[in-house]
Amino acid sequence: MIQKVGRGLLRSELKTSIHARAYATTRPSLHRANEDKSCVHPCYSNTNKLSTLHRPTAIVLLNMGGPATLPAVQPFLTNLFSDGDLIPLPLQSFSAPWIAKRRTPQIEKQYAAIGGGSPILKWSEQQGQGMVDLLNEEIPELGNFRSYVGFRYADPLTPEMLGRLKEDGVKRAVAFTQYPQYSCSTTGSSLNELYRQVHKLGSEGIKWSVIDRWGMHEGFVEAVTSRILAALEQLPAHRRSKATLLFSAHSLPMSVVNRGDPYVAEVAMTVGSVMRRLANHETPHANPYRLVWQSQVGPSAWMGQQTSEAIKGLARLGGIEEKRAAADNVVLVPIAFTSDHIETLYELDLEYVKEGEELGLTVVRAESLNGSPIFIRAMADIVKDHMKETEGPNGQPVSQQMMLRCPGCTNDTCGQQKRWFSKWGSD
């Protein structure tokens, strides 16, 4: 059992909390800043005080989700292939279940190999609880925070999440994407679905704002950096500084990249931020690195270089152009997803690490963020900053960047969704 210790830290992860402290000391105390009572949250307005004081402020963690059990694989894939914002297919309502059924045995095998299901719900609930514990301790004057999960392809799906919000009498909600970098195929799809479902099921007057991306947030960057430092520790000391860091992100079809999707650039910005942080860390590291792309599906062109090809190439060329033995070490770093899933536990661990080792490389993987206390601290800080901004006198529910559609977008829902969120989720 995992025991909670002070301020939401998990005892099993305390060993990494030294980095959390280093990051925390760089943060101004938002709690003190809020004590000046200039906050205009409804809790402070006399007329609304009684009616809103105990209503939860919902922090809704949006993500794709994953099948918790093997029988949940086919429904998960059916939902995924039915998503026209992710994969537009001809006659989608017929073709999606058919493709999903055909693909199910292969994907079931992968989930069976990682323990019979996706751990994403477990991690999302744990991260969300840790985050709201911090928020309720540090900024109770800005809300009575409660965390909810809204998945795009697995339970709890958006309608179930909305039902929970209504049951709890929520009137203020933050859609907090759990994809650090924005893509219209991930965060955009979740926001489009939220927009559609609220219009189908009724909004009950909930006021929505959106945290749409945070790939360069210093707490997130520090959380990834500490995972890399821990992975480097697994290598012999004299090989650490020359090991190649291979940042690996889920790829995107080139058709999506070429319509102006921001994801590829944003993943690269995360990698740049992590490399800068790593170089400035207590233990200086300026390892050679590359950003590579994994998990492409189907025959069309996808963003490359593929992770598996990069591993083969490193084995062929031997890393940096010196001291071959030192350079034959590789650290795989998942960079676009915050908890474990088949791409880390199956593709990276069971396929690529093995493949690299068969080719003579030493390959270690940086752990996914999962229950990282540094990451949970960062989630709370991201929400704190957002609450301060949105509840202030000139608060805006969405970022300007979110309001810009891809220049090649032809999906009307994207425009409707953005306009709707920009009015706090009202028509």
Ligand X SMILES: C=CC1=C(C)c2cc3[nH]c(cc4nc(cc5[nH]c(cc1n2)c(C)c5CCC(=O)O)C(CCC(=O)O)=C4C)c(C)c3C=C
CB 296 within 8 A of CB 251: yes
Rule CB under 6 A: say whether 414 interacts with ligand FES: yes
Rule CB under 6 A: say whether 179 interacts with ligand X: yes
Catalytically annotated residue among 83, 85, 133, 217: 217
Rule CB under 6 A: say whether 132 interacts with ligand X: no
Query: Which CB atom, from 7 or from 405, has the smaller least distance to ligand FES?
Result: 405
Contacts of 247 (CB under 8 A, 6+ apart): 267, 271, 274, 289, 290, 291, 292, 333, 335
CB 211 → ligand FES: shortest distance, Å?
17
Which among ligand FES, ligand X, none contacts residue 390 (Cβ within 5 to 8 A by kind)? none
Q: Is 155 a catalytic residue?
A: no
Contacts of 330 (CB under 8 A, 6+ apart): 243, 244, 245, 246, 311, 314, 319, 356, 361, 362, 363, 364
Rule CB under 6 A: say whether 184 interacts with ligand FES: yes
Query: Which CB atom, from 230 or from 254, has the smaller least distance to ligand X?
Result: 254
The length of the chain in residues reads 427
CB 264 → ligand FES: shortest distance, Å?
13
Q: Using omega within 30 degrees of 0 as the cis cutoff, is the peptide bond preceding 156 cis?
A: yes
- The interface with ligand X within residues 333-392 (CB under 6 A) comprises 336-337, 341-343
CB 186 → ligand X: shortest distance, Å?
5
Rule CB under 6 A: say whether 411 interacts with ligand FES: yes
Question: In 3-state terms, the chain is what percent helix, strand and coil (to 5)?
Answer: 50, 15, 35
Query: Which CB atom, from 189 or from 197, has the smaller least distance to ligand X?
Result: 189
CB 80 → ligand X: shortest distance, Å?
6
Catalytically annotated residue among 212, 261, 349, 381: 381
Which among ligand FES, ligand X, none contacts residue 411 (Cβ within 5 to 8 A by kind)? ligand FES
Cβ burial of 88 (10 Å; 0-12, 13-18, 19+) is exposed
For residue 210, which phi and psi values (nearest 5 degrees)?
-130, 135
Which among ligand FES, ligand X, none contacts residue 406 (Cβ within 5 to 8 A by kind)? ligand FES
Q: Is 341 a catalytic residue?
A: no
CB 166 → ligand X: shortest distance, Å?
28
8-16 long-range Cβ contacts below 8 angstroms, 24+ apart = 8/130, 8/131, 8/133, 8/134, 8/373, 8/376, 8/377, 8/380, 9/373, 10/126, 10/130, 10/371, 10/373, 12/371, 13/371, 13/372, 13/373, 14/373, 16/226, 16/230, 16/372, 16/373, 16/374
Rule CB under 6 A: say whether 66 interacts with ligand X: yes
CB 67 → ligand X: shortest distance, Å?
7
376 residue type, one letter: I
Rule CB under 6 A: say whether 409 interacts with ligand FES: yes
Q: Which residues bind ligand X (CB under 6 A)?
A: 64, 66, 80, 86-87, 103, 107, 118, 179, 183, 185-186, 250, 252-253, 256, 263, 297, 336-337, 341-343
Q: Which residues does the annotation mark as catalytic?
A: 217, 381
